[in-house]
Chains A and B, each alone.
Chain A
């Protein structure tokens, strides 16, 4: 029989910021990293006074897998699948933000159809991401019915995206200068059906949750943060908007096709858990509204740009023509040659500002890929949302912050 690991003293991976209580009746407890409500792995070391959280020390990094190091050993193309694994609830947005950054550095302008399709798919992913967040956070408060309704829609979306990309969660669908392939037949028709179903189901969620006494008691005035504090601690996305400011990159620094779309930016009032729930609910409605506009606007035309530096030649040409064969070979072995330079491009991901800082030394392999992941920055300010509230509120606050381990820990 092999000896079990637990029989020896394991080194502790973290050093808490405090190990003695500040008051006489204080107690220090450890929460996580392996707990169903930590959505992956997050550790909170909290000092409690009775049931109240006095101090909280947040530790992340349990899902760190060296994403940025790994990128430096891949070509600009072959690291796209890794990018999908950052925020795995809305993997398409990650891929498009990364491709956008590389395209900016290369000076490539994507085709109109790809521009609209990326916008459409980004909004579609945002719905899936918000649904996941809301479903998980209401389920943790006991709303199992709402959870199952929301998961039903999410699974339709996942299956529908699997029809498009071949994968259910991590799609690898973006390409530098385009997309992997065009929409399959009948995809838009099914999309319209799902959007109609979405409205039916989300209507039920509004009915179940919005005026639910238990839900309001657990979320109203819990995890409150002001606009100034939110900006000071680096919060972006729905959390910042829930404090009442309409700060949204889709409107403020328009990218893709957002400047041609009509949409509202829902904001909250108090910046508490209820507002974060409601901002996300309303944002999904706006996404549906945007998708419907995009379906009307979607032009015909090519998907990939006609640029040999990044687009693979047609397979038929690779087999019949020496230039295309060499082109294909160079793109696979050396990777797209990205001009030397630095770029920072940010997209409004479901959780906030998702930025890619890329440094190229002029070769087919990145010198550096850095991700400004919203979840990681949010974890730096999470203690502000926890301190002063009940121990049980950690669950609901953490749910509405929507920390995604993949992008937080990278």
Chain B
């Protein structure tokens, strides 16, 4: 485990005007969505964060901007994790896609689009993955009722 790695990342990002903070064993970095792609590129090429772990969103109804979009990265050499967190509004839920940098982003962005309706600019393939074609709405948004049913095949009598 490279204990100094996260500290170096923190210094670098703090020098660029961001506010990274340690939280439960990883470095959490809030950042504006315009800077996402450049920071991810720097993490991957400059600090060896070569494994894209996860992307998901968090819905905060009533807050503006409404959604957090959360990314996790892992360095397979340094054994450290970084979390990037950006916010998007309900009216314009768009962030840059990470598909040009990580192949694994394709599926995970599809899932995030399914569940929250976040669009990833640059990911051409946002077909439903866990849901099905024609599904209405985004089920993990807080205003989607838990018991709403949309059967694709009508129930048997």
Decide whether A and B are members of one complex: yes
Using a CB–CB cutoff of 8 Å, the interface residues on chain A facing chain B are: 2, 5, 10-15, 17, 59-61, 64, 66, 68-70, 72-73, 104-105, 231-234, 236, 245, 247, 252-253, 341-346, 353, 355, 357, 359, 367-368, 370, 372, 376-377, 379-381, 384, 409-410
- B91 near A: Cβ within 8 Å? no
Say whether B50 contacts A231, CB under 8 Å: yes
* Contact A355 B72, CB 8 Å, known A11-B133, A61-B129: yes
CB closest chain-A residue, reference B133: A15
- B23, B58, B133: the one contacting A12 at CB < 8 Å is B133
Chain B 42-86 residues near chain A, CB threshold 8 A = 50-54, 56, 58-59, 70, 72, 74, 76, 79, 81, 83
Say whether B133 contacts A377, CB under 8 Å: no
- A245, A357, A380, A381: the one contacting B72 at CB < 8 Å is A357
- B24, B103, B154: the one contacting A381 at CB < 8 Å is B103
Say whether B56 contacts A357, CB under 8 Å: yes
A69 to chain B, nearest CB (A): 6
Say whether B111 contacts A232, CB under 8 Å: no
**Known A2-B156, A66-B146, A357-B70; 19 more pairs at CB < 8 Å:** A10-B152, A10-B153, A14-B127, A15-B133, A232-B103, A233-B104, A234-B102, A245-B76, A247-B76, A252-B79, A253-B79, A342-B28, A342-B70, A357-B54, A357-B56, A372-B72, A377-B107, A380-B104, A380-B107
Say whether A355 contacts B54, CB under 8 Å: yes
- A-B complex: 3 closest residue pairs judged by Cβ atoms: A234-B104, A380-B107, A13-B132
Q: Please report the C-alpha to C-alpha distance between residue A266 and residue B6 in the assembled complex, in whole angstroms.
A: 28
A337 to chain B, nearest CB (A): 18
A403 to chain B, nearest CB (A): 13
- A2, A14, A355, A381: the one contacting B157 at CB < 8 Å is A2
Q: Please report the C-alpha to C-alpha distance between residue A128 and residue B76 in the assembled complex, in whole angstroms.
A: 27
The total number of A-B Cβ pairs within 8 Å is 126
- B117 near A: Cβ within 8 Å? no
* Contact A13 B140, CB 8 Å, known A232-B102, A252-B79, A381-B103: no
Q: Please report the C-alpha to C-alpha distance between residue A345 and residue B107 in the assembled complex, in whole angstroms.
A: 21
25 contacts between A and B (CB under 8 A): A5-B154, A13-B152, A15-B127, A59-B129, A61-B132, A64-B131, A69-B139, A70-B146, A72-B146, A231-B76, A232-B103, A233-B104, A234-B52, A234-B53, A253-B79, A344-B26, A346-B53, A353-B74, A357-B72, A368-B56, A376-B107, A376-B108, A379-B107, A380-B108, A381-B104
A-contact 0/1 string along B122-157, CB 8 Å cutoff: 000101111111100001101010100000111011
Say whether A368 contacts B58, CB under 8 Å: yes
* Contact A359 B51, CB 8 Å, known A14-B132, A61-B129, A410-B130: no
Q: Please report the C-alpha to C-alpha distance between residue A254 and residue B76 in the assembled complex, in whole angstroms.
A: 14
- B115 near A: Cβ within 8 Å? yes
Q: Please report the C-alpha to C-alpha distance between residue A69 and residue B133 in the assembled complex, in whole angstroms.
A: 20
Q: Please report the C-alpha to C-alpha distance between residue A253 and residue B25 in the assembled complex, in whole angstroms.
A: 10
**Residues of B contacting A410 in the complex (Cβ-Cβ under 8 angstroms):** 130
Q: Please report the C-alpha to C-alpha distance between residue A345 and residue B25 in the assembled complex, in whole angstroms.
A: 9
B149 to chain A, nearest CB (A): 11
**Residues of B contacting A231 in the complex (Cβ-Cβ under 8 angstroms):** 50-51, 76
**Residues of B contacting A355 in the complex (Cβ-Cβ under 8 angstroms):** 53-54, 72
Q: Please report the C-alpha to C-alpha distance between residue A273 and residue B154 in the assembled complex, in whole angstroms.
A: 41
Say whether B103 contacts A14, CB under 8 Å: no
**Residues of A contacting B106 in the complex (Cβ-Cβ under 8 angstroms):** 380
A352 to chain B, nearest CB (A): 10
Q: Please report the C-alpha to C-alpha distance between residue A357 and residue B125 in the assembled complex, in whole angstroms.
A: 25
Interface centre among A380, A409, A410 (most CB of B within 10 A): A380
**Residues of A contacting B25 in the complex (Cβ-Cβ under 8 angstroms):** 104
A-contact 0/1 string along B1-41, CB 8 Å cutoff: 10000000000000000000001111010000000000000
CB closest chain-A residue, reference B80: A253
Q: Please report the C-alpha to C-alpha distance between residue A377 and residue B125 in the assembled complex, in whole angstroms.
A: 16
A66 to chain B, nearest CB (A): 6
- B1, B129, B156: the one contacting A5 at CB < 8 Å is B156
Say whether A377 contacts B139, CB under 8 Å: no
- A61, A236, A380: the one contacting B128 at CB < 8 Å is A61
CB closest chain-A residue, reference B132: A13
Q: Please report the C-alpha to C-alpha distance between residue A353 and residue B73 in the assembled complex, in whole angstroms.
A: 12
Say whether A372 contacts B134, CB under 8 Å: no
